[in-house]
Amino acid sequence: MSGIFKAYDIRGLAPQEINAEIARKIGAAFGQYLQGGRIVIGRDMRDTSASLAKALAAGALSSGLQVFDIGMATTPMLYSAIIRRDFRGGAMITASHLPKQYNGIKLCREKAIPLSGDKGLPEIEALTRDMDTPPQNQDQEQKIDFLGDYIEELSTFIEGDEHLKVVVDAGNGMGGLDTPRLIPRFEHCDFITMLMNPDGEFPVHVPNPAIPSTTEKLQERVKTENAALGIAFDGDGDRCGFIDEKGGRIPADLMIAVLAEYFLARSPGATILYDLRSSRAVPERIRELGGKPLKTRVGHSFIKSKMRKDSAVFAGELSGHYYFQDLGYIDCGLMAMVVMLNLLGKKQQSMSEMVRPLMKYARSGEINISTKEPDRMLEVLASAYRDGERAHLDGLSVEYPSWWFNLRKSHTEPVVRLVIEADNEDILAQQRSKLMEIVHQNGGEVDNPE
């Protein structure tokens, strides 16, 4: 069980690290943590998800919880069920965007507030660690159907009557469950769908739109179909990536600034959160639109908490998570699609024209670095760049007038992640070279996915 409790969720190889026995213990521990009430459980399409969901339900029942099962679902659908049906908490069996050999559990309390490494997951881990396997309870979870309610909720946000052609790739993930049910509600749009059949083997590509190779076929399809927009969902539907009409990938942080226009038109002066890896263009654009940009650390549990605290209407991350006050502060890829189509239908601009003014800085993208001593790597760089304006909101951020970088430990993988941005390509190349030299001298190796 060691190592499966992460900063935001529980995740590991299945069944080697996470299996039915462990899931049953986690379910029982979850019941002890909540101290009674009704919970709802959902799962993705992975081969091991059904057995893990069944085991977690059994553990939860053994500790006195009432358990309701919504079957296969996206993570945002599970969140919505917790909020709309007033459950005490919920659990989603998923490993999100990771390859097929992984699985995991996302736990929430009321209002879909996530348990995290800061609060909730350490207590669950401690309860689970020394627990005997709970006995099989004779009670059974109760089945409920929530998909229809979820689609009705999302459809209330659809606006406009502009004709748009859109290509959507679900990556054989759970986006294939809700997307086909929602797209008929866009009576003015033509949708072309790809890989809508949920398949835990992921026969074409891993459902992770952050990896450039996973969107290559989508990019080509957007161009051949002369579509206005392409959208790719991750495995559990809480993230998405956007492709412009020319087949170009749009950086997810710049999409925060694009989508912000929709919310600031509805709520002038509102607060919008962006994660600290985002381009300087993001807060600059939010201010231009009359909004209040606030920088936040990375991670859905931290962002949701800060959104509630600051009453932010919208938030986004470089990873492609977008969060909506309208939905109860949850992240939802499908809602991001709805908002973007609403905005695109109102604008007399193409996607590339909307994004072009934001592409004013030279950017490295996120660089994964393997290192055996991540803390030492942070210390070395903090010392090497002590003449800059340093901050430790999440890892190490160092700012200079013409460039900045952030280095932070991943909460999901054994790497540190580096982001660099500069006023132009020459400065970026120069500073990246210096950073990489220090990284290599201290045992770090670039380890980005293909």
Higher-scoring residue by pLDDT: 412, 348: 348
CATH of the domain at 270: 3.40.120.10
Q: Convert the pLDDT of each residue in 134-189 to its tens digit.
A: 877 767 889 999 999 999 999 999 998 889 999 999 999 999 999 999 999 999 89
pLDDT of 2: 63
Q: Convert the pLDDT of each residue in 434-445 to its tens digit.
A: 999 999 998 888
- Host H or E run for residue 191: strand 189-194
- pTM: predicted TM-score of the whole model, two decimal places: 0.95
Cα within 13 Å of Cα(210), Cβ side: 20
Q: Which domain holds residue 244?
A: 149-358
CATH of the domain at 387: 3.30.310.50
Q: Convert the pLDDT of each residue in 359-402 to its tens digit.
A: 999 999 889 999 888 889 999 999 999 999 999 999 999 999 99
Find the mean pLDDT for residues 294-320: 95
Find the mean pLDDT for residues 123-128: 95
Per-residue H/E/C for 243-272: ECCCCCEECHHHHHHHHHHHHHHHCCCCEE
236: Cβ–Cβ under 8 A, 6 or more apart, which residues? 44, 74, 75, 92, 94, 96, 97, 173, 174
Q: Three-state SS for 130?
A: coil
Instruction: Give yes or no: residues 331 and 379 share one domain.
Output: no
Please report, rounded to a whole number, the percentage of residues in the chain having pLDDT higher than 70. Answer: 98
Dist CA 166 CA 230 (whole Å): 6
Other Cβ atoms less than 10 A from the Cβ of 388: the count is: 16
Q: Convert the pLDDT of each residue in 310-338 to its tens digit.
A: 999 999 999 999 999 999 999 999 999 99
How many structural domains are present in the chain? 3
User: From the candidates 96, 278, 279, 301, which is the catalytic residue?
Assistant: 96
Tell me: pLDDT of 450 over 60: no
Find the mean pLDDT for residues 424-437: 97
Tell me: pLDDT of 429 over 90: yes
Residue 130 pLDDT grade (very low, low, confident, very high; cuts 50, 70, 90): confident
Q: Convert the pLDDT of each residue in 186-211 to its tens digit.
A: 998 999 999 999 999 999 999 999 99
Dist CA 84 CA 326 (whole Å): 12
Instruction: Give yes or no: residues 154 and 202 share one domain.
Output: yes
Name the residue among 302, 246, 255, 385 with its Cα closest to residue 116.
Answer: 302
| 404-437 residues labelled b (16+ CB within 10 A) or e (exposed) | bbbbbbbebeebbbbbbbbeeeebbeebbeebbe
Instruction: Give yes or no: residues 208 and 310 share one domain.
Output: yes
3 in any annotated domain: no
The answer to whether 433 is a known catalytic residue is: no
296: Cβ–Cβ under 8 A, 6 or more apart, which residues? 273, 274, 275, 276, 302, 303, 306, 315, 393
Q: Convert the pLDDT of each residue in 5-54 to its tens digit.
A: 988 899 999 999 999 999 999 999 999 999 999 999 999 999 999 999 99
Domain boundary among the residues 145, 175, 201 is at 145
